[in-house]
Amino acid sequence: EYDSDDRPVQETVKPMVDGGTEGFKGHARVIIPGMTPCFECNIWLFPPQVKFPLCTLAETPRTAAHCIEYAHLIKWDEVHSGKPFDADDTEHMQWIYSEALKRAELFGISGVTYSLTQGVVKNIIPAIASTNAIISAACALEALKLVSGCSKSVSNYLTYNGLVGTHIKVTEFVRDTDCLVCGPGTLIELDTSSTLSEFIKMLEEHPKLLMSKASVTHGGNNLYMQSPEVLEQMTRPNLSIPMFELLKGTPFATVHVSGMAESNGKKVSSLRKLRVAFKGVEEASKMDTTESS
């Protein structure tokens, strides 16, 4: 949570330690919400998932993985007519392996094994025990620092590479202040009587937003959607309902809005995080708590 000056409220900060390995490589990182970057801030760090063109799988397979993906993505649906594939079902996995083996033999491709089939279908990356031990030790050390305060935490991303010798490096990544996950978002103060329609109109006039044709979501629920037409019709009745009621009567709430916003004199698609606060509600709740106690 953030205060009115966009500073994190210390008692709400929950530090997190993350670690991961891939073969001889690994990382350990410390995430302190509101102070260090979160996963979303550095989403570009994650490598893109490998995908094979369906035309290659269907017409010109060249590797064992192509044969396995053909059995998984194409052959399964052809034979089982929409029956969902369960990667944890040994019979399903055995069927994929058998079909992949047949296709590999047809095209003269070697290397299809049951373990490789599991790896391709489940996207499993082989683990190396020594790498796991080093990274788990690094994570445990950072957790000890956070709990005991015995030393400063790593700032904020440690990488390990044991492929050629041993290489350890610490990189300090920068937090995205406009992050939709860990960023404070723009503070919007409303009266408890302000309707959703008035809230959307306010977004058009807010100097930091200037957002038109806004769609509004909260906690994964659509409060109002500009499109498609079927969702617009379904959520249209909410426009006349006070935001305080739509947000379940909470003093503070986080909502996300998407629409067209001004950027360098042009209208561009934008997604923003907002902190909605209702005037007078927090003070009233504090008074009720004091009186009851």
Angular region, 182: left φ>0, alpha ψ -120 to 50, beta rest: alpha
Question: Rounded CA gap, 211 and 201, in Å?
Answer: 9
55 is catalytic: yes
- Catalytic: which of 55, 67, 139, 150? 55
Question: Rounded CA gap, 229 and 21, in Å?
Answer: 45
Residue pair 13/32 in contact by the 8 Å Cβ criterion = yes
Question: Rounded CA gap, 207 and 201, in Å?
Answer: 13
- Beta strands of 36-165 (E only): which ranges? 157-161
Q: Name the 3-class secondary structure at 57.
A: helix
Question: Rounded CA gap, 117 and 110, in Å?
Answer: 13
Residue type, 219: G
Q: How many CB atoms lie within 10 A of CB 194?
A: 19
Residues with active-site annotation? 55
